[in-house]
Amino acid sequence: MENKTSIQEAIETQEVLVCSLKTKNASKEKIEEELAKLLELKAQLGGDDDKHSFVLKTPKGTRDYSPKQMVIREKVFNIIVSCFKRHGAETIDTPIFELKETLTGKYGEDSKLIYDLKDQGGELLSLRYDLTVPFARYLAMNKVSNIRRYHIAKVYRRDNPAMTRGRYREFYQCDFDIAGQYDPMIPDAECVKIVYEILSQLDLGDFRIKVNDRRILDGMFSVCGVPDEKFRSACSAVDKLDKVSWAEVRREMVTEKGLAPEMVDQIGEYVKLQGGQNLAERLLKDPKLSHSEQACAGLTDMKLLFTYLQLFRATDKVVFDLSLARGLDYYTGVIYEAVLIPSGPGSGGDETVGVGSVAGGGRYDGLVGMFDPKGKMVPCVGVSIGVERIFSIMEQRTEACAEKVRTTETQVLVASAQKNLLEERLKLVAHLWDAGVKAEVVHKANPKLLSQLQYCEDAGIPLVVIIGERELQDGAVTLRSVSSREEVEVSRAELVEEIKRRTVKALLLADA
């Protein structure tokens, strides 16, 4: 302790010296020299007392949700869950970690981003990377061959975070999947319809849902001369087209993946193409592509997808886009991805620029078979909503409009204007709780009335019950509206009903 005190004194002396050198405009070198000594002294002190020297933060790429952010999160989840339930989904949950081997061989080049747990004896575990692989494991383990389920939970990726744009290492996914043997493209079309409904209801501005098919991509690679074993890596190169230019992707395919430039240029012609049902029809007659059985199967299904989406009144936002590839290994058929369209100049919003994809998914008919001991296949198609990016947009909006967000639902505060009424306040608030009223009381023996009213203003509590000696004698209370400041006397017997009557309208409005 004496040692620490003497260092503390040395620091103070040194601080005075540095300060005086600065005011005296001493040479830069001299100041830096003395400053270095000061920093060293401070470091010595820190070393003795590391209890308070640690970093107070959340891990890289993660964040806390404050009460205000939770209000936004709940609102977004409610919209998404209502949609999933409207489409007949049930829900499941799985552990946050899986056996390491469960995740092995499912994610291609992205596997390096998986978080492993430390080997503390026992099984080797990894944090889940998405909700799709645990879902497939669940189906195989429980021999479920038929389900329509949603799952909202956190997943983990050791990626480079870009938190202002909603890219985190811990983030929520909201997944809806249909497993089972059905007629072609009906479940697939329902998944696209769900993305359409959710993005419309979230009211994030205009959006597009790009669709493609892994079989069309593979057929395209094949007719352009790409060898089979390079399909997956060609695919992940094309997948980057939403972030980088064709020139960049071309370079990667030629120099890194070792594809011949003329092959790559042919691919370049195809991946430029965008359209609707007509494009699928045209490509079915394409001199090269029509030679690929795979491509034709994909294109025929694409036509069918558009037919169903027309019946679902969802084609206005859907684009058949041959550059859409999606990185993950497990897709086998249709794939899709939704992006927000930044609104034009003057309409006040380039806030969504760079947010990128907000939903994605596709068909993965082989994944469950990878888990089943007998390799039994369960065809699956699903969609995942990228809510973190949506939260980011909504949070920016809420801040921009400076709207006051309530983070509690308290209907009434039990207050008093006089001293020594703590016991009466506690008795009354318990009576309200027992009657199902959301009520608070200030946890002080004798709080000032003004501070109790101020608390209501700050927290957005709409009503105050005020008790005093006179009210107690009369078996009544004063009920005050915080916003209008109007007061009425209400009998104890009628209090609960009166509070409910006065707050039900506000609650209904809040729910809407």
- Residue ranges in 368-407 that form contacts with a copy of itself under rule CB under 8 A: 370-375, 407
> Binder to a copy of itself among 261, 433, 448, 491 (CB under 8 A)?
433
Counting contacts by CB under 8 A, is residue 409 touching a copy of itself? Answer: yes
Q: How far is the CB of 369 from a copy of itself (least distance, A)?
A: 10
Which among 419, 418, 426, 464 is positioned nearest to 443, based on CA atoms?
426
Structure tokens at 121: 């004896």
How many CB atoms lie under 10 A from the CB of residue 227? 12
Q: How far is the CB of 360 from a copy of itself (least distance, A)?
A: 21
User: Would you say 274 or 410 has its CB closer to a copy of itself?
Assistant: 410
Q: How many residues does the chain have?
A: 512
Q: Which of residues 108-137 bind a copy of itself (CB under 8 A)?
A: 115-120, 122-123, 125, 127, 137
Residues 57-76 touching a copy of itself, rule: CB under 8 A, are 57-60, 62-67, 70, 73
The enclosing H or E element of 385 equals strand 380-385
Q: Residue 30, Cα to own-chain centre: how many angstroms?
A: 52
- Kindly tell me which of 142 and 278 has the beta carbon lying closer to a copy of itself: 142
- Residue 502 binds a copy of itself (CB under 8 A): no
The DSSP code for 352 is T
Site for a copy of itself in 165-184 (CB under 8 A): 170, 178, 180, 182-183
Nearest distance, CB of residue 494 and a copy of itself, angstroms: 20
Residue whose CB is less far from a copy of itself, 149 or 317: 149
What distance, in Å, lies between the first and last C-alpha atoms of the chain?
62
**Among residues 39, 43, 260, 445, the one that binds a copy of itself under rule CB under 8 A:** 445
Residue with tokens 């973190």: 388
Question: What residues between 454 and 473 interact with a copy of itself by CB under 8 A?
Answer: 459
444 is an interface residue for a copy of itself by CB under 8 A: yes
Site for a copy of itself in 226-285 (CB under 8 A): none
For 10, other C-beta atoms within 10 Å of its C-beta total: 15
**Site size with a copy of itself, rule: CB under 8 A:** 96
Phi, psi angles (nearest 5°) of residue 110: -80, -5
d(CA 324, CA 272): 10
Give CA–CA dist 245/309, Å, rounded.
30
Q: Which residues pair with 488 in a beta bridge?
A: 479
Contacts of 451 (CB under 8 A, 6+ apart): 442
Residue 52 or 285 having the CB closest to a copy of itself: 52
Residue 454 CB, shortest distance to a copy of itself, in Å, is: 13
Among positions 275-334, residues that touch a copy of itself (CB under 8 A) are 308, 311-313
28 vs 52 by CB, closer to a copy of itself: 52
Which of 107, 132, 149, 335 is in the footprint of a copy of itself by CB under 8 A?
Answer: 149
Q: Is 257 helix (H, G, I), strand (E, B) or coil?
A: coil
* 9 touches a copy of itself by CB under 8 A: no
Contacting residue, 24, 52, 404, 485, with a copy of itself by CB under 8 A = 52
4 binds a copy of itself (CB under 8 A): no
Q: Please, how many CA atoms are within 13 Å of residue 74, restricted to the half-sphere of its CB?
A: 13
Residue 90, CA distances (Å) to 15, 147, 193, 304, 390 in order: 65, 8, 18, 27, 23
Q: How far is the CB of 395 from a copy of itself (least distance, A)?
A: 14
Least distance in angstroms from the C-beta of 506 to a copy of itself: 14
On whether the CB atoms of residues 371 and 136 are closer than 8 A, the answer is yes
Can you name the residues that pair with 502 across neighbouring β-strands? Answer: none
